[in-house]
Amino acid sequence: MRTRTLTLSAVAGAALLAVTALPAGATGAAPRSAQEGSVTAAALLAKVTSCSQISNGKYRTDEETSATIPVCGKNGAVFWKADMDVDCDGQVTSKCNSGTDPWFQDDTAFHQSDGRPLRADSLPYVVVPSSSSIWKYTSSGIKGGGVVAVIYNGKVEYAVVGDTGPTKIIGEASYATANALGIDPDPETGGADSGVTYILFKNSQVSPIESHGAAVSLGDSLARQFLANN
């Protein structure tokens, strides 16, 4: 679970766009492709052009910004459009540790099937705001291991709900998610300032949570249902 202070979180949010990715064969690297599954980024984005706000208020992308990001509802999903701060929390690895990430925590809100924290540098996962008066994610059918379609720069990456963050800030995903989308995954200086869409499919759950292949398979099926129902 994220315990980084909001002020420090803002540093990570002051991200610079870059295209830096590990070699495809690198150990621990997330699967990277221009397209995961059969549903295009354009098709998904066409369904989220307008927002029916379901949150009681709006979120900030970083501590120093104003609250402008609502959580929106659609048939079978919720979504938001924000930035991407990089979460490196979970298992200690060569890429995610207290030396590479000043705000590193060796735990995540949701755990692998063996009880261990998730591995941020190899598992694409998304961080949802901790429950508050603004929005309680569980009330919208969102749970740990739920499938998320993350869209950026014409690419679709399927991830799982893997961690929780500050109650007033939105827009964060794991090192592996950023890397797969061509976003600089450095937890201190990387991320994307804007242009990231997160579509979370209600009442979905990947099992085991650490199986990215299962997330892609289920995500593709849910994305096709999403297009048909909206």
Rounded to whole angstroms, the Cα distance separating 78 from 54 reads: 8
- In one letter, which amino acid is 21? A
pLDDT by residue, tens only, the chain of 230 residues: 334 433 333 333 333 333 333 333 333 444 455 579 999 999 999 999 999 999 999 999 999 999 999 999 999 999 999 999 999 999 999 999 999 999 999 999 999 999 999 999 999 999 999 999 999 999 999 999 999 999 999 999 999 999 999 999 999 999 999 999 999 999 999 999 999 999 999 999 999 999 999 999 999 999 999 999 99
CA 93, 94, 99, 101 torsion: positive or negative? negative
Parallel, antiparallel, or unpaired: how do β-strands 172-174 and 125-129 relate? antiparallel
CB 127 within 8 A of CB 200: no
Question: Which residues make Cβ contacts (< 8 Å) with residue 130, sequence separation at least 6?
Answer: 1, 2, 164, 165, 166, 167
Q: What are the backbone dihedrals phi and psi of residue 61, each rounded to the nearest 5 degrees, phi first?
A: -85, -25
Contacts of 20 by beta carbon, 8 Å cutoff, 6+ apart: 184, 185, 186, 190
Paired sense of beta strands 77-87 and 72-74, if any = antiparallel
Using alpha carbons, select from 175, 125, 165, 173 the residue that is nearest to residue 147. Answer: 125
For residue 224, what are the β-bridge partners?
none
pLDDT computed for residue 103 by the predictor: 93
Measured CA to CA in angstroms, residue 85 lies from 128, 192, 221 at distances of 12, 7, 27
What are the beta bridge partners of residue 173? 86, 126
Kindly give the residue spans of alpha helices, DSSP state H, lying in the chain. Answer: 6-13, 41-45, 175-180, 212-229
The alpha carbon dihedral of 9, 67, 159, 85 has a sign of negative
Is residue 203 within 8 Å of residue 190, measured between CB atoms?
Answer: no
- Which residues share a beta bridge with 196? 82
Q: What are phi and psi of 164, to 5 degrees?
A: -120, 155
**Widest distance between CA atoms in the chain:** 46
